[in-house]
Structure 1
């Protein structure tokens, strides 16, 4: 079988929207971002910035701690710094730790700036609208969208295009006390920052591996806002400067990724939602590589449910004959029907 013999994306969608009327869901990976601009998204800087930073200190840190979990390393360095201030007589130790922390912070921000459009309005409106139309094929028909990307493109698209069913689970809580005797004008009500959980039951957008604007404060999962005074990346940097770190999964193999996921309430919710999908799953720009076993496990959990609400099929987009051969080789790892389709026929970002 060759890629030219496969169904097109539109043929897949037409079939899934046919008489059976099963729900369909979307899972996408780095190919989603590469379809926007393959030159700036040709590799994932947020998972590779450690190897490319060229700083021996940072490289030694990740080698010694045997992890690429940025969030975990930053927290460990912060904790170690506080302990060293109390117990260490070496006056040079704490400055060295703080220097390492600053280098890691700057490496992350530099990597993101190198990859991303400067701000939301740098994404052409026609591309943004085309992508929203692509997503609405799923969320407007009762389906879910799952992303494994850390980058900001999905955030930009959702922000530029108001869509009733594009719900990421975040909302604001009223913090003004209304139990007092004095009348308070609604215009003077005070609300919290964007916190996750208020709308999780209606959630349709899921960042399986986290994303740069989502932070774990230790108590709440919050989403950094884009505002009129600061670009999003500046607000992200301000959070990091306050020792709050973005949630994203960069650990190596599937088992390590799953361990990270299950120790975070937002990530575990998104993963469990994937385990609970029914109908069909369409993937785009996701190659099911050797480090994606946890995603296959989630798909198989969904496929093993009772017939009334199980996952019946997965449609996997491939870009080449080599990619097609890979999917055919791992086909038996899935506990549901697997159908490759020609990913080159997907027009996410318009012409």
Structure 2
């Protein structure tokens, strides 16, 4: 451990307790990453959805489907499915009878469905008490920025939706509006499984209850192109964001965030440089960043990583033990073995 008078004293293995930080600061925003999902279901720790779609036991991506990803130079599903839908429309306009784009569309969507369902926690394993605790934890912030596309945050909010505003109206669809002190705004920076792309490029929310949404996603409908970014380089993610009115608006809200920001379960690696840039643009005075205390060396390494991201900025960086935050409580975890017992 370094001496207290050393300028790099914070590179040691000490972490603050979240309740103590919460007492001293008003955190107006929460940036949520995959670590929060893993705290509930460890199977969310997979590396690549694209790889899962290739190896799933049920109808994996074939060589012909993989060629579409290669020609578009992406591992994300939304631009591939959108391109195939465009090809179908062009073929129809030119009276070309080829069924290949349509067949590839459904095959890729099928592989995507099976890949996600192989790792996503089933609704039947979500206890009411867990949903209530997640709901209560999320509503402590005026703005929730999530980079996760799974359904955990959606399910938690649906448990008691009144304190939240997901910016979607039943009649008009996506309706951007400013934050208020009364409700927590939900902004899905990388989209979500509950969001789909309309023919005109706008975004809508699937009209499903918490208990049916995972099943609704598994319906291989032609009109429902999923709106979420699963992986890829930061530049590619930013390009996809720029092609979506919803995603680009959400990204702009993070870039103009005001007040202290809590970052939970978000590694801020090279693939999420656009998220780092948005935070830097917002210039929050205080950032509280969760670190899972695997070992003293790991904690020191993580602190160094985050410090380097904001080294040239006047930002108060605080590091806390992820297990002391309500979203990282160890007893939230649902053992994967439970899936075999039901």
Q: Please report how far the alpha carbon of residue 248 of structure 1 lies from its aligned counterpart in structure 2 after TM superposition.
A: 0.7
Structure 1 or 2, whichever has the larger Rg, is: 1
Aligned pair in 2 of structure 1 residues 317, 268: CA closer, same or farther (>3 Å)?
same
Within-5 A mapping of 1:104-183: 104-119=108-123, 122-138=125-141, 143-164=142-163, 166-173=164-171
Residue 339 of structure 1 pairs with residue 338 of structure 2: no
In the other structure, the counterpart of 2:3 is none
Which stretches in structure 1 are left out of the alignment for 5+ residues?
17-21, 174-191, 304-310
SS of corresponding position for 1:25: strand
Residue 7 of structure 1 pairs with residue 16 of structure 2: yes
Asked if structure 1 preserves the Cα contact closer than 8 Å seen for 2:291 and 2:302, the reply is: no
Within-5 A mapping of 1:195-206: 195-197=173-175, 204-206=185-187
Aligned pair in 2 of structure 1 residues 55, 256: CA closer, same or farther (>3 Å)?
same
Asked if structure 2 preserves the Cα contact closer than 8 Å seen for 1:132 and 1:161, the reply is: yes
Which stretches in structure 2 are left out of the alignment for 5+ residues?
1-9, 332-342
Cα distance in 2 for partners of 1:249, 1:259 equals 11
Aligned pair in 2 of structure 1 residues 132, 219: CA closer, same or farther (>3 Å)?
same
Q: Please report how far the alpha carbon of residue 78 of structure 1 lies from its aligned counterpart in structure 2 after TM superposition.
A: 2.2
Cα distance in 2 for partners of 1:296, 1:25 equals 15
Aligned pair in 2 of structure 1 residues 264, 163: CA closer, same or farther (>3 Å)?
same
Out of 51, 58, 80, which is 1:73 matched to?
A: 80
Cα distance in 1 for partners of 2:51, 2:136 equals 31
SS of corresponding position for 1:5: coil
Q: Please report how far the alpha carbon of residue 110 of structure 1 lies from its aligned counterpart in structure 2 after TM superposition.
A: 1.1
Asked if structure 2 preserves the Cα contact closer than 8 Å seen for 1:171 and 1:198, the reply is: no
Asked if structure 2 preserves the Cα contact closer than 8 Å seen for 1:146 and 1:206, the reply is: yes
Within-5 A mapping of 1:137-286: 137-138=140-141, 143-164=142-163, 166-173=164-171, 195-197=173-175, 204-217=185-198, 218=200, 220-227=202-209, 231-238=212-219, 240-250=220-230, 252-286=232-266
Q: Please report how far the alpha carbon of residue 42 of structure 1 lies from its aligned counterpart in structure 2 after TM superposition.
A: 2.0
